Amino acid sequence: MLLIRLITNTVPTGAFRGFGGPQSEFAIETHMSHLAKLAGKESLTFKKEHFVKQGEETPTGGKFYEPVKLEEMVAKADSLSDYTRKREEYSWQKGRLRKGIGMSIFLHGCGFTGSAERDHIKAKVKLEKKEDDTIEILVSNTDMGQGLKTTLSKIVAKVLELPLEKIKMINPDTDRVPDSGPTVASRSVMTVGKLLERAAIRLKKEWKTGEYQAFEENYVHPELIPWDINTFTGDAYPTYSWGVNVVEVEMDTLTATTEITGTWGIFDLGTAIDDTIIRGQMEGGMLQGLGYGSMENMIQVNGLIRQNSITDYIIPTAMDAPKIVTALIENPYSGGPFGAKGAGELTLIGTAPAYVAAVEHAAQINANKIPFLPEDLIQQIDEVNRKKEA
């Protein structure tokens, strides 16, 4: 194998609520929409023709083992947003002020790719029951505002049939907690939560009132997901979370400004452990994705970022938040605690392509970049007008 090393002046990159997911999903969804136009088909009709089903093969030669509920999710999104009617109505607009609506359909793997959990992470959790019969959760995962302490505590409390105040989880101290792996890759609830569920089941069976007890659980890799690290083939993930997003916009084609008038998100996250936390994940992720698609513009020159402060790098504020409607499709996964799957990354990646699809629909153009800014829109509109005049 020939290895080539290059020195570039590009900015180092990292995860944006997902390892490449936001970028890839925008490219895939937009490419599919453009192919639909070339085929003379409505975007959603074209995508439905290519929906995967349970038991079919993944791009890496694995298999979709769990039920795939895309048809049900799209139907729910259509019902809530009135997508089909609006899509048809907005397709024939003329004049300066126009509306547009777009839909994205996407998935995200849950946990680390391939055999990383088995070969590298090797997660371990610990439950301690104190003499006063309170429980402490000992894991290395961090609650950074996503509600992890509450979610993991609820899992343990439900198994042990204890009130939530009897469960304690403090910020991890590496001198005390086992290495349950990093707080990334949509794995904390599904993988670590499942280990805690198993530890709690053991504790419940061997419960001794008034005595100190401790139980550890180690990660065991599912046998059904073979993975070849040398060829990158097999089952990349044990399961997938799924999403459908719809974004509606009102556009002024003279000033090239858009207003987001509605956003809808339908998600298959397995089973929600805590409805309020999951709703926060859905709404927060979708708003972040709207910023990614419409305004978060990073320009670099010779390796230096021009936007060097929050004054120059614009992100959505509460004033930019549109009406967001969310709904869950129940689809429990046996490998997650009480059927839960990953939620953190999935909720971001669909809104940017849905936003761009809505802008394309309103302006009758093709877009191929994000963020799609007013200056990009006015340039596209001018090109369309010049072609018409020619």
Residue 147 in this model has a pLDDT that exceeds 60: yes
Q: What is the pTM of this model?
A: 0.93
Note the pLDDT of residue 195. Answer: 97
φ and ψ at residue 207, rounded to 5 degrees: -55, 130
Asked whether the bond before 322 is cis by omega within 30 degrees of 0, the reply is no
Would 227 be classed as within a structural domain? no
Read off the pLDDT band of 303 (50, 70, 90).
confident
Last residue of a domain, one of 218, 252, 271: 218
C-alpha distance from residue 275 to each of 96, 156, 167, 340 (Å): 42, 17, 19, 12
Instruction: Give 203-220 pLDDT, tens digit per residue.
Output: 999 999 999 999 999 999
The backbone region for 157, taken as left when phi is positive above 0, alpha when psi lies in -120 to 50, beta otherwise, is: alpha
Instruction: Please list, residue by residue across 103-119, b when 16 or more beta carbons sit within 10 angstroms of its beta carbon and e when fewer do.
Output: bbbbbbbbbbbbbbbbe
Note the pLDDT of residue 219. Answer: 94
Would 13 be classed as within a structural domain? no
Residue 351 in this model has a pLDDT that exceeds 70: yes
Give the whole-number percent of the chain exceeding pLDDT 70. Answer: 98
Say yes or no: 238 and 379 in one domain: yes
Would 164 be classed as within a structural domain? yes
Q: Are 292 and 284 in contact (CB under 8 A)?
A: no
CA gap 321, 259 in Å, rounded: 10
Would 141 be classed as within a structural domain? yes
Average pLDDT, the chain: 93
Note the pLDDT of residue 333. Answer: 96
C-alpha distance from residue 91 to each of 155, 273, 294, 315 (Å): 48, 41, 22, 30
Q: Is 88 helix (H, G, I), strand (E, B) or coil?
A: helix
Say yes or no: 378 and 261 in one domain: yes
Note the pLDDT of residue 2. Answer: 61
- Distance between first and last Cα of the chain: 51
Would 4 be classed as within a structural domain? no
Residue 335 in this model has a pLDDT that exceeds 70: yes
Mean pLDDT of 87-106: 95
CA gap 126, 199 in Å, rounded: 7
Residue 350 in this model has a pLDDT that exceeds 60: yes
Residue 272 in this model has a pLDDT that exceeds 80: yes
CA gap 320, 100 in Å, rounded: 18
Say yes or no: 311 and 267 in one domain: yes
> Which token pair is 361?
């629909």
Last residue of a domain, one of 152, 185, 218: 218
CATH of the domain at 144: 3.30.365.10
C-alpha distance from residue 196 to each of 68, 188, 212, 353 (Å): 27, 11, 18, 36
CA gap 280, 189 in Å, rounded: 15
Would 9 be classed as within a structural domain? no
Say yes or no: 102 and 136 in one domain: no
Say yes or no: 378 and 240 in one domain: yes
Say yes or no: 137 and 92 in one domain: no
Read off the pLDDT band of 3 (50, 70, 90).
low
Question: CB neighbours (10 Å) of residue 45?
Answer: 10
Note the pLDDT of residue 226. Answer: 85
Say yes or no: 316 and 275 in one domain: yes
What is the domain count for the chain?
A: 2
Distance of CA 148 to the CA centre of its chain: 16
Residue 133 in this model has a pLDDT that exceeds 90: yes
Tell me which residue range forms the domain holding 251: 21-112+234-389
Would 187 be classed as within a structural domain? yes
CA gap 355, 246 in Å, rounded: 8
Last residue of a domain, one of 218, 246, 272: 218
Instruction: Give 356-379 pLDDT, tens digit per residue.
Output: 999 999 999 999 999 999 999 999
Say yes or no: 263 and 143 in one domain: no
Residue 66 in this model has a pLDDT that exceeds 80: yes
Segment among 11-20, 89-98, 105-114 with least mean pLDDT: 11-20
Q: Are 181 and 191 in contact (CB under 8 A)?
A: yes
Say yes or no: 244 and 367 in one domain: yes
Say yes or no: 79 and 204 in one domain: no
Note the pLDDT of residue 20. Answer: 82
> Which token pair is 120?
């590298």
Say yes or no: 158 and 28 in one domain: no
Note the pLDDT of residue 382. Answer: 85
Say yes or no: 267 and 342 in one domain: yes
For the chain, helix, strand, coil in percent to 5 are 35, 20, 45
Note the pLDDT of residue 306. Answer: 87
Name which residue leads in pLDDT, 2 or 97: 97
Mean pLDDT of 129-140: 97
Would 294 be classed as within a structural domain? yes
